[in-house]
Amino acid sequence: MSDLRLDSTIRFSNLDKLRAFAAISVVVYHVIEHTSWSSFPVTGLNLWWRTGWLGVDLFFVISGFVIYFSAFSLEKSYGAAWKSVYASHRFFRIAPLYFFTCIIFVFLIQPQILFTPVSNIFFQFISHLLFFHNFFPSTQGAINGVNWSIGVEMQFYLFILIFWNWIKRASPLKILLVFSAIACIWKIAAFYILHSAGAHKLWFATAQLSGSLDVFGFGIAACKWVLANGNRNDWVSLGIKALAAISAGFIMIKLLWMTPNYWGSVYYVGFFRILTGLSAAALIVFLIALPNTALGWFSGIIDYLGKISYGIYLWHLPIILSLKNLNINAGMVFLVATLACTLILASITYHLIEKNWIQHGKSDQACSKIGAILKSIRLN
């Protein structure tokens, strides 16, 4: 069994590989969509990149796993004070680069936002500052379209704080049943209310935290299962886990590509992301048992991309929009340019912004300040 000591500083290195894959998947998908790259392959393994939006759900499942592990180990280490430490870690991990890229986006990518009515500017500012911009169509995609998921992510962190006592006691199966039931009921209700209003409005409703609890839940359940049972890494166990992950993933992609109209089917809208969560959770359980050196020297490169994956995610859309303004032809040249610029910016901001703020978030001063805020709103 692998040694999963209760230490919140543990990094599951192979999850960095999965983060890298998820981030690159979203980048390639957005290049295909934003440039109408019709000649991109629609068969074979390249089919994945046309469904790269699933990379966001993959991030959510990873988040469910890692955030539960972090909260569980912090409580063991800090006792009653764990919530302050947890909230400080999470805020300073997410907020600084998010705020920075929002500013860059407004002033350099879409400055026309600054010439809208003052009431709109104020509401954009407040909603993005407090991470509820994903609640409203007018703010959800206004400043760097990918930011909707950052709002959902931060709300999930708060959800963990509020319902922690139940979450830590519930079995993995109960987590899956309750989280999936809430998400499916929400998405089915959204379908019957909004499907005639168009796919975008339906997606907007189902992309809220209540519609994403199933994928987060699979990550939590996977972590609870691993903590309770260990994670054997002998060849038989690895083979079974690999087969489970590959089988679930194949069925997921096959079903997705078979439907001519995802948003026109209540079954897909209501239940498909359960299969996404299952596939991702099986892949996570396999990867954390796999030796980190399994890919040799290539592991280090992929792990680094995973470390800067948050920056990759936040920077890629501004880069795509900027390159479109330069009239670069769609296709491989556009993709390579997007990846190169995105990776450079993600690397620079990781070292100049993210690392410093992550360390600050672990300081006693930062934890105390966040703890005071939590106490004022009775969450600590």
Whether 5 is in a domain gets the answer: no
Whether 223 is in a domain gets the answer: yes
Whether 322 is in a domain gets the answer: yes
> Residue-wise over 117-142: b if at least 16 C-beta within 10 A, else e?
eeeeeebbbebbeebebbeeeebbbb
pLDDT digits (tens, 9 = 90+) for 213-271: 999 999 999 999 999 988 777 777 888 888 888 888 888 888 888 888 999 999 999 99
Per-residue confidence (pLDDT) for residue 254, from 0 to 100: 85
Whether 8 is in a domain gets the answer: no
Cα–Cα distance for residue pair 44/53, rounded to 1 Å: 18
Total tally of structural domains belonging to the chain: 1
Whether 60 is in a domain gets the answer: yes
Residues for the chain: how many in total?
380
Cα angle 337, 24, 132 (rounded to 5 degrees) comes to 105
Instruction: Measure Cα distances from 77 to 48, 73, 81, 82 in Å.
Output: 41, 6, 9, 8
Per-residue confidence (pLDDT) for residue 5, from 0 to 100: 43
Whether 214 is in a domain gets the answer: yes
Per-residue confidence (pLDDT) for residue 297, from 0 to 100: 61
Per-residue confidence (pLDDT) for residue 4, from 0 to 100: 46
With residues binned 3-state (H G I as helix, E B as strand, rest as coil), the percentages for the chain, rounded to 5, are 80, 0, 20
Domain limits for position 63? 13-376
Instruction: Name the 3-class secondary structure at 38.
Output: coil
Whether 1 is in a domain gets the answer: no
DSSP, res 295: G
Whether 93 is in a domain gets the answer: yes
Residues of the chain with pLDDT under 70: 1-11, 293-297
Tally of CA atoms within 13 A in the half-sphere of 212 that contains its CB:
28
